[in-house]
Structure formats: structure tokens, C-alpha cells
């Protein structure tokens, strides 16, 4: 199966448009902090023949696919198995002081969703794995077997925004005393049985629970909380960053960090803004930009995307 058949890069042209002013110059470096199967990366390398790409991903399977896909650009690419919150460490090892562009395409990838055996989807029976990095040790099965009822309730609330978190956590603990929960079909059975019929009519009741488990397995939000500031710190003056988020918890983190770094630090009432109080970054889009209607029609994954972008104005000494 061709790569484009299994994954259409979201907001590709808009991302190229926003990053072009900073990554089109000779010697520019772009960090793709969520390389995936290399769809965005391929487009940038084709469009900008003097661009160097640093591709970071925690998923070894994705790195292998991207490496094959981008093999013709071998003299302009570096692939790194890591989480993107370690961007400073990655760049230091490569001898790169600062970069001109950064792209984050957050969340679970099409590759991971479509691989049934990895257990990301509540709609297909599979082992309760959910690891983005196959070399890590924490799985959804381990969480369901070992976390206390209180801890389960917390992650369903915090990461799934699930109102029925107490009920689901209680039923899971009861069920695991009878048999271990090792497959998604078992977890679905528990969740569906514990969900009122009226709630079931609003959508699959396990959706938020699966999201919460996935986020906990991969520590996604804690990684993003560190990755976005680290990415901003790695940008050269004039450098730009684009972040694509696919659920509100991710987008809130990005929004908060971008807002804090693009706001003047001048005390209220100061008649003149001193240079040291000027913001480090300028926002490039108003709020969180959604995909166009045509793109949402062509690519269902684009339906929930929220795009934010910023440019570095100055560097604090």
C-alpha cells in the first residue's frame, strides 16, 4: 500500500505557506517533531531544495517508514528516535545551535490507528497496548491491571474529560478481580454495560476512556508541556513554528505557552514599552485556525485539527 493511501497530511499547504518565509533560505533547518510517515517532511524537502530536516519520532515503526520514504534526501535529513520534548538535546548532538522552522503534528497518527494490534482503536478488538513507542514498558493493559480505582478515575477525568469516570473506574476494578482485562473488546464490554442507554445514543461510550488511557500510556500532555517551550527556545530570530492539535487538551497547552511568550512584560500603566519588555514572539494566525471545508471533506482527520503558529521576534539575552 502506498504511503499516500494510508495517510493524507493534514493542513499541508497551509503549513508550507506559514513556514516558507523562514525555511526557504539557504542553510535553513526544519525540525519535524512528530515525523510520522514523513508526509509533511517530504513536501518540505521537495519544495525547498536547500533545506535540512531533523525528523523526531518516538515510534520506531514510523521512523523506518519515513526513512524509506525520504531516502532520496539522505544528504539533507537526520532521523532521531526520541520524544520531542528533548529537542534541545537532539539538536545539540547534531551540532545545530538554532533552527528556522519547527512543525508539531500532535496526537496519535494514522499509522498507529490503522495498526490493529497496537490497540489504539475502540472499534477493533486488539491487545490493550496503546504504546506510541514500542520499546517503552507501560501499556494500557498494565494500567488497567495495576492502577487504583482513584487513579483510574483521575485519568478518565483529566485526560478523557469523562463525566462517568467514577462509574467506569469502579466497574473496571470489579471486572479485573474476576479476569484480567487484556483486549479492547473486554474493556468495551465493561464500559458499554456501565453506560446509560441515553448516553450511548450520543456516541461510542468508550471513546473518552480509550483517549485517556492512550494519553496516560504515552504521557502525551506532560511531553507537550515541555516540548512547546523547548521548541520556541530552539528557534532563531525570524524562525517560525506551526503546531497542529487534534483535541482540546493539547490545544490548551499550546495556546497557553504561545500566549505567554507573545505578550509584553511591561508593567501596567508604563507610558513607553521598553525594549526588554517587548514580546519574544508574534502570533501568525488569529486563535486556533481550522481546516477549510474542502480539506475536511477530502480528509476526515482534518475535521478536528486546530492550527497555531508563531514567529520569533527577538531573543532574550
pLDDT tens for the chain, residues 1 to 317: 344 444 678 889 999 999 999 999 999 999 999 999 999 999 999 999 999 999 999 999 999 999 999 999 999 999 999 999 999 999 999 999 999 999 999 977 666 666 666 777 788 889 999 999 988 999 999 999 999 999 999 999 999 999 999 999 999 999 999 999 999 999 999 999 999 988 888 888 899 999 999 999 999 999 999 999 999 999 999 999 999 999 899 999 999 999 999 987 667 666 666 666 688 999 999 989 988 888 888 887 788 899 999 999 988 76
- Report the alpha-carbon distance of residue 133 to residue 185 in Å, rounded: 23
CB count, 10 Å around CB of 306?
A: 22
81 labelled ligand-binding: no
Please tell me whether 186 is known to bind a ligand.
no
- pLDDT for res 5: 46
Strand positions, DSSP E, 215-285: 235-245, 281-283
Q: What domains can be seen in the chain, in order of their start residue?
A: 3-111+220-312 (3.40.50.150), 117-218 (1.10.150.170)
User: Is the full-model pTM beyond 0.85?
Assistant: yes
Residue 277 counted as an annotated binding residue: no
183 exposure class (CB count in 10 Å sphere: 0-12, 13-18, 19+): middle
Alpha-carbon distances, residue 296 vs 39, 293, 301, 302, 303 (angstroms): 17, 5, 7, 5, 5
Q: Is 200 within any annotated ligand binding site? A: no
Q: 287 labelled as ligand-binding?
A: no
Is position 105 annotated in a ligand binding site? yes
Amino acid at each position: 500500500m502506498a504511503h499516500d493511501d494510508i495517510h493524507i497530511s493534514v493542513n499541508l499547504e497551509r503549513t508550507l505557506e506559514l513556514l516558507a518565509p523562514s525555511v526557504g533560505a539557504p542553510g535553513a533547518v526544519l525540525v519535524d517533531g512528530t515525523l510520522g510517515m514523513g508526509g509533511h517532511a517530504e513536501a518540505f524537502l521537495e519544495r525547498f531544495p536547500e533545506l535540512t530536516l531533523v525528523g523526531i519520532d518516538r515510534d520506531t515503526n514510523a521512523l523506518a517508514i519515513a526513512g524509506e520514504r525520504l531516502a532520496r534526501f539522505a544528504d539533507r535529513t537526520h532521523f532521531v528516535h526520541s520524544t520531542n520534548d528533548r529537542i534541545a538535546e537532539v539538536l545539540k548532538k547534531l551540532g545545530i545551535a538554532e533552527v528556522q522552522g519547527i512543525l508539531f503534528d500532535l496526537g496519535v497518527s494514522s499509522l498507529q490507528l490503522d495498526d490493529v494490534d497496537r490497540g489504539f482503536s475502540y472499534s477493533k478488538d486488539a491487545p490493550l497496548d496503546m504504546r506510541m513507542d514500542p520499546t517503552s514498558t507501560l501499556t494500557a493493559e498494565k494500567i488497567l491491571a495495576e492502577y487504583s480505582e482513584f487513579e483510574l478515575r483521575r485519568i478518565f477525568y483529566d485526560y478523557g474529560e469523562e463525566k462517568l469516570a467514577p462509574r467506569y473506574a469502579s466497574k473496571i476494578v470489579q471486572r479485573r478481580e474476576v479476569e484480567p482485562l487484556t483486549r479492547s473488546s473486554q474493556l468495551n464490554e465493561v464500559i458499554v454495560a456501565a453506560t446509560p442507554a441515553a448516553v450511548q445514543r450520543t456516541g461510542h461510550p468508550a471513546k473518552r476512556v480509550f483517549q485517556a488511557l492512550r494519553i496516560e500510556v504515552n504521557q502525551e500532555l506532560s511531553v507537550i508541556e515541555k516540548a512547546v517551550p523547548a521548541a520556541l527556545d530552539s528557534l532563531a530570530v525570524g524562525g517560525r513554528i506551526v503546531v497542529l492539535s487534534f483535541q482540546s487538551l493539547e490545544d490548551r497547552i499550546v495556546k497557553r505557552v504561545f500566549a505567554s511568550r507573545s505578550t509584553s512584560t511591561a508593567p501596567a500603566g508604563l507610558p513607553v514599552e521598553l525594549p526588554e519588555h517587548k514580546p519574544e514572539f508574534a502570533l501568525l494566525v488569529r486563535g486556533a485556525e481550522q481546516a477549510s471545508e474542502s480539506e475536511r471533506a477530502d480528509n476526515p482527520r482534518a475535521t478536528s485539527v486546530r492550527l497555531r503558529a508563531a514567529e520569533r521576534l527577538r531573543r532574550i539575552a
